[in-house]
């Protein structure tokens, strides 16, 4: 047993220089801060091609560039109990009920619904694959989402599927609703 331990010790002494040079790394390597244990954290590449652990002094790189204007055409207008006046986007009406749209969205950008005015009724945003002939409600966990009974200004969805348009239905029983659906 003693001979075996001496043999293991001799092998370790022979390998120490090669282990040390492997841990020293080069400018293009990713080396752990301590030099002997594998790093288990994300790292950020530096100008010299080395990589350092993410920290307050080496944060993840991000871009603070503002988005350009959306390419989609906003749906805007007003609805009363007897009339619809679309400013942009098609609208059909029957006795205070309007179908508004379609909005062909730019994928990856939020769809914002802006509702204002003094009005009673409902406004609901949905999706369609047939230019608003059929409107599927927005849902989350099986519950309706993107349906309003008062003024609002919020992002209700972020489109990710090509070929799906956004359409709205507005039912105004009293007052005037001014709407906007845009990106």
Q: How far apart are CA 117 and CA 179, in angstroms?
A: 9
Q: How far apart are CA 165 and CA 33, in angstroms?
A: 51
CB 179 within 8 A of CB 169: no
Torsion sign (Cα): 69, 71, 72, 78: positive
* Predicted pLDDT of residue 90: 63
The residues that bridge with 181 in the sheet, in sequence order, are: 75, 113
pLDDT in tens, the chain (183 residues): 666 566 556 565 555 555 445 545 445 555 556 555 555 667 888 888 888 888 888 887 776 677 788 889 999 999 988 766 677 776 666 667 899 999 999 999 999 999 999 999 999 999 999 999 999 999 999 999 999 999 999 999 999 999 999 999 999 999 999 999 999
- Residue linked to tokens 């009673």: 120
> Of the candidates 154, 156, 148, which has an alpha carbon nearest to the alpha carbon of residue 124?
148
* Predicted pLDDT of residue 49: 82
* Predicted pLDDT of residue 55: 82
CB 165 within 8 A of CB 101: yes
């Amino acid at each position: 047993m003693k001979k075996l331990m001496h043999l293991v010790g001799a092998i370790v002494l022979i390998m120490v220089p090669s282990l040390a040079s492997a841990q020293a790394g080069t400018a293009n390597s990713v080396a752990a801060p301590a030099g002997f244990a594998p790093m288990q954290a994300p790292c950020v590449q530096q100008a010299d091609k080395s990589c350092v652990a993410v920290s307050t002094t080496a944060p993840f790189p991000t871009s603070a560039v503002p988005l350009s204007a959306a390419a989609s055409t906003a749906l805007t207008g007003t609805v009363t109990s007897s009339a619809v006046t679309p400013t942009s986007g098609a609208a059909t009406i029957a006795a205070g009920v309007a179908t508004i749209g379609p909005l062909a969205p730019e994928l990856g950008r939020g769809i914002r619904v802006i509702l204002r005015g003094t009005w009673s009724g409902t406004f609901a945003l949905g999706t369609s694959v047939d230019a608003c002939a059929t409107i599927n409600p927005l849902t989350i966990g099986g519950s309706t989402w993107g349906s309003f009974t008062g003024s609002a200004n919020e992002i209700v969805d972020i489109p990710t599927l090509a070929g799906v348009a956004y359409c709205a239905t507005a039912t105004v029983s009293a007052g005037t609703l001014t709407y906007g659906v845009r990106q």
